[in-house]
Amino acid sequence: MQNILSGLRVVEGSAFVAAPSGGMTLAQLGADVIRFDPIGGGIDYRRWPVTKDQKSLYWHSLNKGKRSIAVDFKRPEGQELLTRLIAAPGEQAGMFLTNFPAKGWLSYERLKQEREDLIYLNLVGDRHGRGALDYTVNCKVGFPSMTGVGKSGDIAPLNNPMPAWDVITGQQIALGLLAAERHRSRTGQGQLVRIALADVALATLGNLGYVAEAMINGTERDAIGNNIYGTYGHDFQCKDGERLMVVGVSPNQWRALVQVTGTENEIHALQERLGLDFRKEGDRYQGRNGITEIFKPWFAARNFAEVTAELDKAGACWGKYQTVKETVEQDIDCSVDNPLFQMVDQPGIGKYLMPDHPLRFTSVEQEPVRPAPRLGEHTEEILADTLGLSGSEIARLFDEKIVASS
């Protein structure tokens, strides 16, 4: 539902994941997001994964639906053009998103001189002004020490390949810009909005109870592999080698697992022996190893298709372990059968599945997913329509290589 933010204009100068994904979220919801890059592309324009022709799938995936202008902003005239673009008039314009250093011509104070009600969202690494990436933030908050199996402090930390803090921060960026825009629409006041990648991780750490656990209980959580802390969940291998994860978080989910495996007597005997009550989540966690050993033979004796059919019949909660390639090639949810996806032709790369925003609004119609722009694809259009430059002025900027197009 991309036109829910129709009319809103955001200028974006960014790199890496968090800031571009924030702009992409707004663009997918219908905002006019104008991304500026240096001529020839910035630091992440060729970042892996790339095609055999060295076209970055990373860059194109994070910039869907945006417009692109290529400017030599090391030169004063290029800086002046972008300043005018950021501060361009319009009730729903004057919004800027960046994780570039907010200093010099890109400082809030400097840009605010051109538009008093400017909304400027600046992403930084940490609150001290140091640089940070998802992986340096993740190790700071302790999650790699809980990944794998073993006692915390005795095992090597293990990174997660999914940049969670970047992704969450991208959503916070979109939320922050929309909140600031609502404030401006009510009061007429713009503002500088700051967000630190590290603070997003630290806030999550606190919101999920990890901070309280360390302070109140004085405990260090160990790495528990594929168990689920505080409840029951584990992975199992079927007779044909396929693996799946089952969870028994709710009472109904737990009863379904016991019922489908036909292990009521063994489970009852185990809880009696351990002095536990498996109607309680915490007790199921304490008895997890014994529970898993009781369940394991049922899965090992059956092929995946039989296992999943029985689990579905019982109302159990489960998920299949599969690679990304398997998900793309075999999972119907990662196909055009799912309204989330459309087959879209990305210029210069080819046709592949592209996701829309997962929000579904009932008051507007879903529009086609828009691919990422070619670098500088909209340079001339933006100079003419948004900044109102004449044909001769635009021609001179191209001739002097202050701007470029694809």
**Three-class SS of residue 264?**
helix
Rounded CA gap, 72 and 77, in Å?
8
- 88 close to 158: Cβ distance less than 8 angstroms: no
Yes or no: say if 242 and 165 are a contact pair by the CB < 8 Å rule.
Answer: no
Identify whether 161 is preceded by a cis peptide bond (ω within 30 of 0).
no
Catalytic residue among 32, 37, 44, 166: 166
Q: Which of 405, 341, 358 is nearest to 379 (CA)?
A: 405
Residue ranges of the alpha helices (H) in 230-320?
251-261, 264-274, 281-286, 288-300, 304-314
Q: Taking the alpha carbons of 22, 26, 29, 34 in that order, is the dihedral positive or negative?
A: negative
Residue recorded with tokens 């599945």: 353
Q: What is Dmax (Cα atoms) for the chain? A: 87
At CA 261, angle to CA 258 and CA 266, rounded to 5?
Answer: 65
Question: What is the C-alpha to C-alpha distance for residues 320 and 236, in angstroms, rounded to an integer?
Answer: 10
Residue of 21, 63, 17 lying closest to 348 (CA atoms): 63
The tokens 């004796």 sit on which residue? 301
Identify whether the C-beta of residue 26 lies closer than 8 Å to the C-beta of residue 181: no
Q: Following DSSP, what letter does each residue of 37-106 receive, concatenated?
A: E-TT--TTTTPSSB-TT--BHHHHHHTTT-EEEEE-TTSHHHHHHHHHHHT---TT--EEEE-S---GGG
Tokens standing for 85?
């673009």
| Residue at token pair 């400082």 | 107
User: Do 198 and 126 form a contact (C-beta atoms < 8 A)?
Assistant: yes
**Residue 199 is a catalytic residue:** no
Structure tokens at 353: 């599945």
Q: Which whole-number Å values give the CA distances from 20 to 12, 13, 58, 365, in the listed order?
A: 8, 8, 11, 25
Active site residues: 166
